[in-house]
């Protein structure tokens, strides 16, 4: 079995399995979102901590996160914290959006503890440019393709004429990252308004952009033909016809919408719009909750739980939260294989540290605690400590990152206290910790330690390294995003603009640039200054905006350039959407 790379943690698990029965337990009612959401239970408040990474597992800064009505942005480590988000008892929907990437999301059954969310974003990478008004075919190497009739519209429903950039991604069931890359979870609303767990035979994401970068879609009343190659492991069991489902990016679950026909080793169907589309069989569901603990009864966090059924060779993964718990929807009336995988790496060749059969289940079930005992090849340790401010008081708004073997875990602090319960290999006991005080913008050094079983008590960490240069900004009143790496500032120093000024800062994954045609303190508009960056887009004289730049000082080399900016601006990607922005630049002049 392939090694499970579990840096990206999902707090749900949904089993896909090779059977083509349909759900006969419907009530013959038509789809209705208001009625369907009654399955989710009452409104509750839950806490979330999470991380967003790219396809190479690098953290992404400046990603806008939304849970219910709560929003924030990821910091330099791709980390976000939202406490008290209003969600449902049995359904939470988390969205992650950033310019230059396809929208990401995660749906889950939230636990009452601190829910740990990890999302992987794919870059928006145009595969081909086609022309409106012409029939066009866009395909990828696997034979998966889309045929367009040439009719497109923008998000306001207006006809679009011009070049169309097409991005296309085919996600196969055997992709080991399927649980990390797919939107939401494999949970769906049928045509008869029933809940269903899906077995995927392949997903496709198509995103269309116009010449100005605006999102496009198929014109109302028109269709496109999609062709998805069936995974080789599924050809023998693939039904001749299969329901099609599209992902509702507003609601956070899949909806039944048409069907596809098997033609050779591919499914072919017609769709009337684009987001994600999925070829799936459907099954009735129950909720399963379980907790993993060590021999001392401590919950084990960030451990992969994989469920396999009916002969599949790949698991669909869920990951335990900081209390060792994972909860999610699974198919009813099925016997499943449950495997536990250590996070980041394993010392044994099978990558499985625990396995058992569970089910079948006919009702919502909470399993007895699953105990993962130490073995000669895998040990567990609870890492505990306290994060302090410079004045030796406890950090109340911050977190600690534990890094090892190419991956890491995140723990929020509670009045300074933090803890991790990790499985590790005796041959590689080293890890590092780094703490962040978000209120005072202070960090610790990255400090190396070694695991000891059963407790690794590291004592106090003190976040007392001041960040002396930074650019920070807020979008729509969200959490401030701090850029504290690769900070530069100074004079443009060219003949056409000898008094020009520039400022920029980055975290290696995202940057913000500010430049103007003067270094004289004063208040200016975008006639003199411009700003561009990840999560912000471009704000200049050609952008509808009210942004003002207050250049407080622009000292000589070695002294600070201080600038603030605030106002509103038109979203460059979505017509009719206006954002607010506020920001501060505190940068040492380099030239």
Domains delineated in the chain: 379-465 (2.60.40.10), 470-588 (no CATH)
How far is C-alpha 158 from the chain's CA centre? Answer: 31
Mean pLDDT of 84-104: 92
pLDDT given at position 3 = 28
The pLDDT value given to residue 94:
96
Q: What pLDDT does 165 receive?
A: 93
Whether residue 539 is predicted with pLDDT greater than 50 in this model: the reply is: yes
Question: Residue 183: helix, strand or coil by DSSP?
Answer: coil
Q: Across residues 490-504, what is the average pLDDT?
A: 72
Confidence grade of residue 575 (pLDDT, cut at 50, 70, 90): confident
Task: Give the C-alpha distances (Å, rounded to integers) separating 118 from 79, 147, 352.
Answer: 9, 34, 21
Alpha carbon distances (Å) from 15 to 290, 314, 551: 15, 10, 56
- Can you give the pLDDT at residue 493? 56
For residue 299, list its beta bridge partners.
Answer: 293
pLDDT tens by residue, 351-410: 678 889 998 999 989 999 999 887 766 777 889 899 998 888 999 988 998 887 656 778
Cβ(522)–Cβ(539) under 8 Å? no
Cα distances (angstroms) measured from residue 221 to each of 133, 134, 268, 289, 310: 15, 16, 19, 44, 40
Find out whether 106 and 80 touch, Cβ atoms under 8 Å. Answer: no
Average pLDDT over residues 230-249: 88
Contact status, residue 549 vs residue 573, Cβ threshold 8 Å = no
CA distances to 6, 101, 310, 351 from 199, rounded to whole Å, are 22, 27, 11, 24
pLDDT average, residue stretch 30-58: 88
Choose the weakest-confidence range: 70-84, 311-325, 528-542: 311-325
Q: In angstroms, how far is CA 409 from the centroid of its own chain?
A: 15
Q: Where are the alpha helices (DSSP H) in 86-207?
A: 178-181
Which DSSP symbol is given to 424?
E
SS3 label, residue 35: helix
Question: How many Cα atoms are found within 13 Å in the side-chain-facing hemisphere of 50?
Answer: 31
User: How many CB atoms are closer than 10 A to CB 69?
Assistant: 7
Cβ partners under 8 Å of residue 516, min gap 6? 500, 501, 524, 528, 529, 530, 549, 551
Q: Is the pTM of this model over 0.95?
A: no
């Amino acid at each position: 079995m392939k090694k499970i790379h579990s840096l990206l943690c999902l707090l749900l698990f949904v089993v896909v399995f090779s059977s083509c029965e349909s759900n006969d337990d419907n009530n013959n009612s038509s789809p209705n979102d208001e009625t369907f959401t009654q399955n989710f239970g009452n409104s509750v408040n839950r806490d979330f901590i999470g991380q967003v990474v790219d396809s190479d597992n690098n953290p992404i800064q400046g990603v806008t996160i939304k849970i219910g009505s709560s929003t924030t942005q990821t910091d330099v480590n791709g980390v976000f914290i939202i406490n008290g988000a209003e969600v449902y008892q049995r359904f939470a929907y988390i969205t992650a959006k950033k310019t230059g990437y396809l929208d990401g999301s995660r749906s889950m059954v939230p636990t009452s503890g601190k829910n740990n969310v990890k999302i992987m974003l794919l870059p928006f990478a145009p595969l081909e440019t086609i022309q409106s008004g012409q029939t066009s075919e866009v395909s990828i190497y696997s034979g998966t393709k889309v045929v367009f009739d040439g009719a497109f519209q923008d998000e306001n429903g207006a006809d679009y004429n011009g070049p169309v950039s097409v991005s296309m991604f085919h996600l196969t069931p055997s992709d080991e990252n399927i649980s990390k890359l797919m939107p939401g979870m494999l949970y769906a609303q049928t045509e008869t308004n029933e809940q269903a767990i899906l077995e995927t035979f392949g997903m496709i994401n198509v995103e269309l952009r116009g010449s100005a970068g605006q999102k496009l879609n198929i014109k109302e009343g028109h269709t496109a033909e999609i062709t998805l190659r069936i995974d080789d492991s599924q050809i023998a069991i693939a039904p001749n016809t299969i329901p099609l489902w599209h992902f509702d990016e507003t609601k956070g679950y899949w909806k039944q919408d048409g069907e596809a026909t098997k033609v050779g080793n591919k499914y072919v169907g017609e769709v009337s719009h684009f987001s994600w589309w999925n070829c799936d069989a459907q099954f009735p569901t129950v909720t399963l909750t379980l907790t993993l603990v060590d021999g001392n009864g401590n919950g084990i966090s960030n451990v992969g739980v994989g469920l396999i059924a009916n002969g599949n060779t790949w698991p669909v993964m869920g990951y335990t939260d900081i209390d060792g718990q994972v909860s999610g929807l699974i198919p009813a009336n099925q016997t499943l294989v449950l495997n536990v995988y250590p996070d980041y790496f394993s010392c044994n060749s099978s990558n499985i540290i625990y396995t058992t059969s569970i089910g079948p289940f006919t009702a919502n079930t909470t399993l007895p605690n699953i105990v993962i005992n130490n073995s000669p090849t895998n040990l567990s340790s609870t890492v505990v400590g306290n994060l302090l401010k410079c004045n030796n008081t406890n950090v109340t708004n911050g977190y600690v990152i534990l890094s090892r073997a190419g991956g890491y875990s995140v723990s929020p602090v509670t009045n300074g206290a933090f803890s991790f319960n990790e499985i590790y290999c005796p041959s590689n006991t080293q890890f590092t910790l780094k703490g962040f005080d978000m209120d005072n913008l202070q960090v610790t050094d990255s400090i190396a330690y070694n695991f000891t079983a059963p407790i690794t008590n590291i004592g106090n960490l003190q976040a007392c390294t001041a960040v002396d240069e930074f650019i920070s900004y807020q979008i729509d009143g969200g959490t401030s995003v701090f850029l504290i790496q690769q900070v530069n500032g100074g004079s443009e120093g060219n003949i056409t603009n000898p008094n020009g000024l520039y400022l920029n800062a980055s975290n290696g994954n995202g940057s913000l640039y500010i430049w103007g045609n003067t270094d004289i303190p004063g208040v200016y508009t975008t006639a003199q200054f411009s700003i561009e960056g990840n999560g912000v887009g471009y704000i200049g004289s050609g952008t509808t905006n009210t942004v003002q730049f207050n250049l407080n000082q622009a000292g000589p080399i070695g002294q600070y350039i201080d600038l603030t900016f605030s106002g509103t601006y038109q979203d460059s990607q979505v017509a009719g959407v206006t954002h607010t922005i506020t920001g501060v630049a505190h940068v040492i002049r380099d030239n």
